[in-house]
């Protein structure tokens, strides 16, 4: 049989089209749900953790027939990756995100409220109710907290000892903090008493700690409207204090323009006595710079001056959220994945197994973690046992009194446009007072406050 | 004779209509290969350059949330962008950066190219030397300059102190941060521009210089009457390109200063970036992008037009 050239071309084109369509729309088994779950990017330092995730996927699929997990390499380290993945509908169905992200994600309908799921969750009672606060939006809960922090001071014990500075107590004040910074500063040797974050959004984030300590706030909800209040006398006191640390007492590093990583590198290289830390900063100093963990002490934030002064640090952490772009069936599967093995025996086993890896690599599990569960929950007790058995590599931080007091010093981040507030409005005023001896903190804050109100909060109200 | 006549008649007659397939095949055999070479570039530019530019015009009038249907919002994005208190600061910084970059970065490559060309010995070495900064990876370059700018231990302050000049705060002071970035940017990029000028210089006939030397022209006269006029077309086009390039400055302030201190290095493009990829306000990013696009387009058209006038006058 002779096939004409025209027929051959048509057959070829049809075959190619079918092939393309099949590759674009793979045939799924009936009722099969594909769940996109997060896995770390395939790098050397993620390899061990990724293997743990892949094992968990196998167990999850075995326990939930009909759900197939597709690992998506992803971390919420920069927002842009998430934006791009949402646009192309390739973002994971379950994500872990920062505590500041609630308003951004919920107001744009990118995540779903979890209240109905929480009602049926057997571990719901374990969670400290206040831990949900950063992810409450319009009266609903949008995220499950799984690792939290309350910012506090980490200090170099050896430098304190050598300079005759007493260890911070649970009632220490700005005055004590300043005395410690002054005594530890040695400009000849390039050593500073305190290194604040000042660069990028971190600069604003760091200033809010001082504002809260002085008794101030950034945003308040009054008469049904959001109001910017970081031009209060307390906030001015906070900014003035930061300014004095530079110009009056000269206890900051000569190069004061530092971001998150810079600050902990300086601390790890023992060029500064004190820094504020949330959770992972000391990991940079210990595993990155080789600082001896025994030289690091922790203290709650110092109390600000005046009747409104208080011990206070930013409360943050990470939350699990479910992608609103997923179908309802996938969202149900996502909740199953989110709660699968969370805070149970497998989790504890994995933690115990990781101790051997840290020993083999001569590193430490150094981060500070504030598990948002009630102290009597079974997970907390089991976890404490594993930490006690492997205390050479799994580091615990602070005395019992410190750990009891720390939650009382927690202050949630501004609910509306926190990252904008930090980067665009507060960081510049920090930089202004540190770069200009004659800068007027009251004027700078008044101006920034008015602009933030007009350009952002008024649009929300 | 008869034969010739017949042929002539054949030529005069209406040519037979050629089949479409024949025309396509003929044109394809003539232009096909050339067009095929253009296709990848065309597709690349269409997808990654032209389509985003066109799409941006729509984006500027929409409230776009990635993954969800966009909503038309009219001029709202433009109103919010123009009402942003940071915009006047960013415009001022961008123009200042462009001005400084042209003042330093425009003249330096020309002087360098002419100087190297005038050298009798070591020309190849200096050509290589001036191009070296261009091959340093950007991140390495920024880290290196962060050390150089360090007010306590940085090399630049060590040099100043050696000459008993007081230290500078460089990136830490709003007064010096922008100029410091221009210095770094000029150092990093002037080599590639200088190479273009040197290529242009090599096309100038040696005979012109020899004739000028015979006529007793010194170095300055040779530069003024031969080199600079010959370089003029290159200078004009590179000036425009540098203008467009520097007005879109983003990388340097983003990596080196984060726009600080106190917004002293915040630029228009950095605002566009922040709107889109930090604050998820893509409509505002689109609106500001369009405004910048229109400004650059008008500037370029005026510049090109002005240069055509100059050429006409020269004729």
Question: In total, how many domains does chain B have?
Answer: 1
Q: Minimal Cα–Cα distance from A421 to chain B, Å?
A: 11
In chain B, the residue whose alpha carbon lies closest to the alpha carbon of A190 is B152
Classified as helix, coil or strand, A443 is: helix
Tokens of A211: 């504002």
Q: Report the distance separating Cα B68 and Cα B66, nearest Å.
A: 6
Average pLDDT, chain B: 87
Q: Report the distance separating Cα A53 and Cα A280, nearest Å.
A: 21
pLDDT digits (tens, 9 = 90+) for A276-308: 999 889 988 998 899 999 999 999 999 999 999
pLDDT digits (tens, 9 = 90+) for A387-406: 999 999 999 999 989 988 99
Residues 6+ apart with CB under 8 A from A211: A217, A218, A230, A234, A235, A238, A239
Query: Which has the minimum average pLDDT: A96-105, A182-191, A343-352, B19-28?
Result: B19-28
pLDDT of residue B2: 44
Tell me the residues of A at the B interface, defined by beta carbons under 8 Å apart. Answer: 78-80, 83-84, 86-87, 89, 91, 104, 108-110, 190, 198-200, 203, 253-257, 259, 325, 417, 419-420, 423-424, 427-429, 431-432, 434-436, 451, 454-455, 459
Contact with chain A for residue B69, Cβ under 8 A: no
Whether the pLDDT of residue B5 is over 60: the answer is no
Average pLDDT over residues A212-240: 96
**Does residue B97 form part of some domain?**
yes
pLDDT of residue A3: 63
Tokens of B207: 């005979």
Answer whether B277 sits within 8 Å of A83, measured CB to CB: yes
Average pLDDT over residues A125-154: 91
Q: Report the distance separating Cα A429 and Cα A404, nearest Å.
A: 34
**Does residue B180 form part of some domain?**
yes
Peptide linkage before B261 cis (omega within 30 of 0): yes
Contacts with B151 from chain A: Cβ below 8 Å:
254-255
- Please count the other Cβ atoms lying within 10 Å of the Cβ belonging to residue A378: 14
Answer whether B66 sits within 8 Å of A83, measured CB to CB: yes
Answer whether B278 sits within 8 Å of A110, measured CB to CB: no
Q: CB-CB: which of A80, A257, A427 is closest to B171? A: A257
What structural domains and CATH numbers belong to chain A? 30-149+317-357 (3.40.190.10), 152-315+406-460 (3.40.190.10)
Tokens of A176: 């004590």
Q: Which of A57, A56, A53, A61 is nearest to A29 (CA)?
A: A61
Q: CB-CB: which of B65, B80, B277 is closest to A80? A: B277
- Please count the other Cβ atoms lying within 10 Å of the Cβ belonging to residue B306: 11
Q: Minimal Cα–Cα distance from A54 to chain B, Å?
A: 28
Contacts with A429 from chain B: Cβ below 8 Å:
262
**Structural domain containing residue B296:** 87-314
* Window B:244-283, CB contacts with A under 8 Å: 257-258, 260-263, 274, 276-280
**Does residue B189 form part of some domain?**
yes
**What CATH code is carried by the domain that includes residue B167?**
1.10.3720.10
pLDDT confidence tier of residue B4, bands split at 50, 70 and 90: very low
Answer whether B150 sits within 8 Å of A255, measured CB to CB: yes
Q: Report the distance separating Cα B117 and Cα B126, nearest Å.
A: 10
Residue A336 contacts residue A111 (beta carbons within 8 Å): no
pLDDT digits (tens, 9 = 90+) for B85-109: 999 999 999 999 999 998 888 888 8
Residues 6+ apart with CB under 8 A from A11: none
DSSP track, A248-307:
TS--S-SS----HHHHHHHHHTTSEEEEEESSSHHHIIIIIT---GGGEEEEPPPBPSST
Task: Enter the DSSP assignment of B167.
Answer: P
Residue A67 contacts residue A11 (beta carbons within 8 Å): no
- % of chain A beyond a pLDDT of 90: 66
Q: CB-CB: which of A86, A259, A424 is closest to B86? A: A424
Q: Report the distance separating Cα A123 and Cα A339, nearest Å.
A: 9
Q: Report the distance separating Cα B60 and Cα A27, nearest Å.
A: 39
- % of chain A beyond a pLDDT of 70: 96
- Please give the residue that has the higher pLDDT: either A453 or A17: A453
- Please count the other Cβ atoms lying within 10 Å of the Cβ belonging to residue B187: 16
**Does residue B18 form part of some domain?**
no
pLDDT of residue A308: 95
pLDDT digits (tens, 9 = 90+) for A335-377: 999 999 899 888 898 889 888 888 888 888 888 988 888 888 8
Q: Which of A142, A153, A401, A110 is nearest to A274 (CA)?
A: A153
Contact with chain A for residue B134, Cβ under 8 A: no
Q: Report the distance separating Cα A132 and Cα B46, nearest Å.
A: 47
Q: Report the distance separating Cα A272 and Cα A155, nearest Å.
A: 9
Contacts with A190 from chain B: Cβ below 8 Å:
152-153
Whether the pLDDT of residue A27 is over 70: the answer is no
Q: Report the distance separating Cα A440 and Cα A201, nearest Å.
A: 21
Q: Minimal Cα–Cα distance from B138 to chain A, Å?
A: 19
If you count DSSP H runs as helices and E runs as strands, how many of each does chain A have, helices first? 19, 14
């Amino acid at each position: 049989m002779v096939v004409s050239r025209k027929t051959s071309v048509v057959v070829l084109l049809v075959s190619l089209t079918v092939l393309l369509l099949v590759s674009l729309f793979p045939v799924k088994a009936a009722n099969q749900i594909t769940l996109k779950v997060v896995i770390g990017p395939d790098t050397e330092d993620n390899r061990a953790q990724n293997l743990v995730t892949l094992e968990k996927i196998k167990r999850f699929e075995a326990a939930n027939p009909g759900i197939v997990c597709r690992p998506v390499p992803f971390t919420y380290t920069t927002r842009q990756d998430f934006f791009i993945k949402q646009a192309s509908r390739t973002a994971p169905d379950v994500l872990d995100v920062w505590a500041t992200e609630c308003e951004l994600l919920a107001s744009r309908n990118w995540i779903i409220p979890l209240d109905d799921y929480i009602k049926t969750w057997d571990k719901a009672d374990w969670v400290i109710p206040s831990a949900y606060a950063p992810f409450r939006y319009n009266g609903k809960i949008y995220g499950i907290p799984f690792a939290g922090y309350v910012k506090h001071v980490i200090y170099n014990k050896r430098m304190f000892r050598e300079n005759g500075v007493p260890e911070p107590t649970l009632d220490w004040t700005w005055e004590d903090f300043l005395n410690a910074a002054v005594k530890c500063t040695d400009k000849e040797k390039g050593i500073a008493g305190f290194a604040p974050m000042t660069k990028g959004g971190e600069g604003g984030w760091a200033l809010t700690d001082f504002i809260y300590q002085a008794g101030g706030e950034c945003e308040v909800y009054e008469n049904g409207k959001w109001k910017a209040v970081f031009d209060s006398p307390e906030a001015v006191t906070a900014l003035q204090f930061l300014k004095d640390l530079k110009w009056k007492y000269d206890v900051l590093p000569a190069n004061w323009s530092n971001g998150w990583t810079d600050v902990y590198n300086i601390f790890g290289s023992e060029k500064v006595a004190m820094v504020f830390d949330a959770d992972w900063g000391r990991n940079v100093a210990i595993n990155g710079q080789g600082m001896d963990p025994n030289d690091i002490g922790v203290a709650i934030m110092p109390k600000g001056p005046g009747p409104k002064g208080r011990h206070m640090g930013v409360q943050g952490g990470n939350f699990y959220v479910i992608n609103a772009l997923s179908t309802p069936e996938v969202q149900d599967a996502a909740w199953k994945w989110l709660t699968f093995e969370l805070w149970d025996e497998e989790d504890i086993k994995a933690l115990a197994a990781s101790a051997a890896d840290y020993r083999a690599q001569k590193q430490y599990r150094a981060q500070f973690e504030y598990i948002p569960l009630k102290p009597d929950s079974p997970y907390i007790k089991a976890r404490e046992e594993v930490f006690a058995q492997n205390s050479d590599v799994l580091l615990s931080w602070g005395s019992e009194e410190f750990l009891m007091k720390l939650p009382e010093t927690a202050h949630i981040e501004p609910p509306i446009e926190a990252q904008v507030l930090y980067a665009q409005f507060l960081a510049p005023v920090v930089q202004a007072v540190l770069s200009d001896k004659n800068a007027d903190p009251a004027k700078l804050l008044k101006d920034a406050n008015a602009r933030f109100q007009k350009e952002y909060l008024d649009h929300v109200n | 004779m008869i034969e010739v006549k017949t042929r002539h008649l054949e030529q005069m007659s209406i040519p037979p209509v050629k089949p479409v397939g024949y025309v396509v095949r003929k044109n394809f055999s003539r232009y096909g290969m050339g067009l095929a070479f253009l296709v990848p570039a065309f597709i690349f530019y269409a997808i990654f350059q032209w389509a985003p530019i066109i799409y941006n015009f729509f984006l500027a009038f929409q409230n776009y949330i990635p993954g969800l249907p966009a909503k038309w919002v009219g001029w709202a994005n433009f109103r919010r962008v123009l009402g942003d208190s940071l915009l006047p600061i960013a415009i001022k910084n961008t123009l200042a950066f462009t001005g400084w970059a042209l003042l330093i970065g425009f003249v330096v490559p020309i002087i360098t190219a002419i100087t190297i060309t005038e050298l009798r010995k070591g020309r190849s070495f200096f050509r290589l030397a001036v191009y070296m900064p261009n091959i340093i990876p950007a991140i390495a370059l920024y880290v290196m300059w962060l050390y150089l700018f360090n007010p306590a231990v940085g090399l630049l302050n060590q040099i100043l102190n050696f000459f008993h000049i007081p230290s500078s705060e460089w990136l830490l002071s709003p007064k010096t941060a922008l100029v410091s970035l221009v210095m770094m940017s000029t150092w990093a990029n002037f080599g590639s521009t200088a190479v273009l000028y040197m290529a242009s210089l090599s096309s100038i006939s040696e005979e012109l210089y020899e004739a000028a030397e015979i006529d007793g022209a010194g170095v300055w006269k040779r530069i003024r009457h031969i080199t600079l006029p010959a370089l003029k077309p290159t200078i004009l086009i590179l000036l425009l390109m540098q203008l467009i390039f520097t007005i879109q400055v983003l990388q340097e302030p983003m990596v080196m200063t984060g726009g600080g201190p106190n917004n002293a290095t915040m630029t228009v493009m950095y605002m566009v970036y922040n709107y889109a990829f930090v604050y998820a306000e893509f409509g505002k990013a689109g609106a500001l992008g369009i405004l910048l696009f229109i400004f650059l387009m008008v500037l370029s058209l005026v510049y090109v037009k002005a240069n055509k006038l100059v050429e006409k006058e020269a004729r």
